[in-house]
Structure 1
Amino acid sequence: MNKIPEGQTATLASASWRDYYELCKPRVVMLMILTSLIGMFLAVPGMVPLDVLIIGNLGIALCAGSAAAVNHLVDRHIDKKMARTFNRPVAKGRVEPMQAALFALVIGALGMTLLVVFINVLTAVLTLASLLGYAVIYTLFLKRATPQNIVIGGLAGAAPPLLGWTAVTGEIHGHALLLVLIIFAWTPPHFWALAVHRKDEYAKADIPMLPVTHGEAYTKLHILLYTIIMIIVTVLPYITGMFNWLYLLGALVLGAGFLYWALAMIFSKKPSVGMDTFKYSIVYLMALFLIMLLDHYLLPMPQHLEFNL
């Protein structure tokens, strides 16, 4: 019988369910599922069918977790060099690369099966495209190739509300695309704020994030510009008749808060301003989508401008 080297035995024995749970980046996936869930509710005037609600979000979550596990696998050498990520399961050696790859394959295949069999093929195809966009196009290529990596690759992370919408309706609707556009515009200022805070770590790992390649001042200016673009984009659902005054009020108040932090990035000398802005951006997105849900169910439905695809 072949003996497993003593060091490897210790590594394998140290792996637990928590390590595999961490491979899925649960906090990121939970935010994605929140937007997917709300995308489902916004697609219908009443209640989402329970089977679609549960199986659809489970399938999307499994595929998102699969993409996250691939990210852990591919970035394990980079993760060792960064304080934020050095203790990740694959980087630390608690989960072997082959185990991580097999785990990603299994949960990804399970998620796709659930979507194809119980939801619809359109949602499965869009979810697969999102998975490949993050795990392959962004993680393998864009992240190491260009400081615009998060702008281009952000489209994959913006897909969940569209996936939720198509899971219920089986069609792509312009209103769902507006939800995607909001997250797409939100992603650069959200992630660049973290990149400014972690600039030295990205430089050490040789990752060409914008503050590393173009400096902090340039990045902070672009955070401000993208924040303004994002605020304009968030008004579009009101203009198109998707939401009422409650959403508009919430979008403008939350947008003003984001603008405050974008300006603080430029003018504040606090070392924590980047992380503070990053944390606000997460609260911003969660609150914005919850306000969408409140507007959708509490106020009379406005006159929608139909632009199905």
Structure 2
Amino acid sequence: MAAPRRATQRAAPSTAPAAAGPGAAKASVAGVEEKLDVLTLVRLREQLKQQFMECSTVVDAGEESIPDQVMEEGLIEAVQIMDALRTKLRQNDDESKLILETIKRILMLSTAAMESQKQAREMEEKLNDIKRKRLSLKQAGEKKLLQIRTMKKKQKEELEGIEVGEMLKRIRRNLQKETEMTTLIQNIFQVVKPHTPLIKFPDRQSTPKPKIQETLQGRVPPLHGSAVPLSVGSKQPALENISPISRVQDVPDTSELVRTLPQKYRRKTMSDEEMEFIQRGGPE
């Protein structure tokens, strides 16, 4: 009850100016009717502003005093209840025992509630720790996945580079072989010169084909003495002066054949001994 009295005491001073305000306003209105002066209008405006501010402060003070009043009333009621319980417990009767058991029950339940709240708080902390660990593991997993991806990409690039390098090496080897073959062919064509054929075949258009008998008679020398020239001072024909290679007509000499061979078939220049060996047709 003290709080409402204070509120009324606070509101009382403000009501007096509020009550005096309308009278002053009426007087000012009457003065305005008598004298329409600018100064009176300004004074009236200032008075209205001041009255409005006072009323607003009173309203704000009343709104602020309501929670304080409720709290004071609640505290008073709690003190009164505690005093009544103490007086009842001092009587030591059945009701007091029941009240005591109820109080103990309330205390036990409150302690259990506090313990459960404590456990819930601990469980929340553990859950938060698990969430933090999970988040850290998730971040570590993302980092590992990123590392694996980068490693795979790097390995793929290395494999591609190795494949490209092997391909380039293969192409380089093939190119080197081709260049070597090309240079060899160029050297062969530069060294090889057109040579005379080993056997000259007759032109059948200008000369007709001879008969076999005439060919043999022309190539084989006659064995009787009339056809063979006689040596001086002897009756036998000089057959020993005829070389076995020159007995066949139009057979080219081996030395000439060897000399006409191209450089491709000659490893080195042949000596006279080798030429004689070829002419003899083998060892003696």
TM over 0.5: no
In terms of Rg, which structure is larger? Answer: 2
Q: State the structure with bigger RCO (CA 8 A, min sep 6), 1 or 2.
A: 1
Give the TM-score normalised by structure 2: 0.18
